[in-house]
Amino acid sequence: MTAREVVRLLDLLEGNGIDVWLDGGWGVDALLGHETREHDDLDLVCERVDSDRVVTALEGAGYEVAAGAAPLSFVLVDSDGRQVDVHPVTFDEALGGGVYPMEDGGEWVYPSAGFEGRGTVARRPVRCLSPEVQVLVHDGYELEAKDFRELWLLHERFGVELPAKYAERALAVKGERASATRTTLGAEPVDVPSSTDRRHGSDTPHD
């Protein structure tokens, strides 16, 4: 999932009056303003009432539903294997934010302030989850090296406090940064040519 494709999809969705927020790896890179790694997919948070419109818009862009359905998370893929994971929420002030329904019948609430995040992809301004909420959604599933790297980058750039159980491992990746590829968003080639969403089997909404 390239930056060029992310921008294409965001232009399409927003052009149809649909608000979405970047989550997951692209959400972190948008906050940082540069691409820290390659991405298999694009995680989007949308309002539940917009779910059908999201599907219609993405189908028009060459994607089709591969798994799940609203009100739970759902996954769309295209013929090139690019994947979009959509996570519908219902905003409820009484519960403090965007309520995300999970497969086990529970609910996870994105704090309202989390939707104030802003970043850039290929120099295009985008809505994304805030650094603090990005750290929150890393909790609740088994983290990989890329996840610990993202936690460190969020801590380093924004001073976000990391959960104690992850802090030591996240700090350990500090020395790996020099060898990590750091590509400025938008510097990719102009030619545009997956995995199941962890949220389908996790108690915490994140990929």
CATH 3.30.460.40: does it fit domain 1-130? yes
**What are the pLDDT digits (tens) for 110-157?**
999 999 999 999 999 999 999 999 998 887 667 888 888 999 999 999
User: How far is the C-alpha of 156 from the C-alpha of 172, rounded, in Å?
Assistant: 13
Residues 6 or more apart whose CB falls under 8 angstroms from that of 161 comprise: 135, 155
User: Among residues of the chain, what percentage have pLDDT more than 70?
Assistant: 83
Say which residue, 132 or 176, is predicted with more confidence.
Answer: 132
Q: What is the pTM of this model?
A: 0.82
**Structure tokens given for 160:** 């976000």
Which regions of the chain carry the CATH code 3.30.460.40?
A: 1-130
User: How far is the C-alpha of 34 from the C-alpha of 19, rounded, in Å?
Assistant: 22
pLDDT (average), residues 13-22:
97
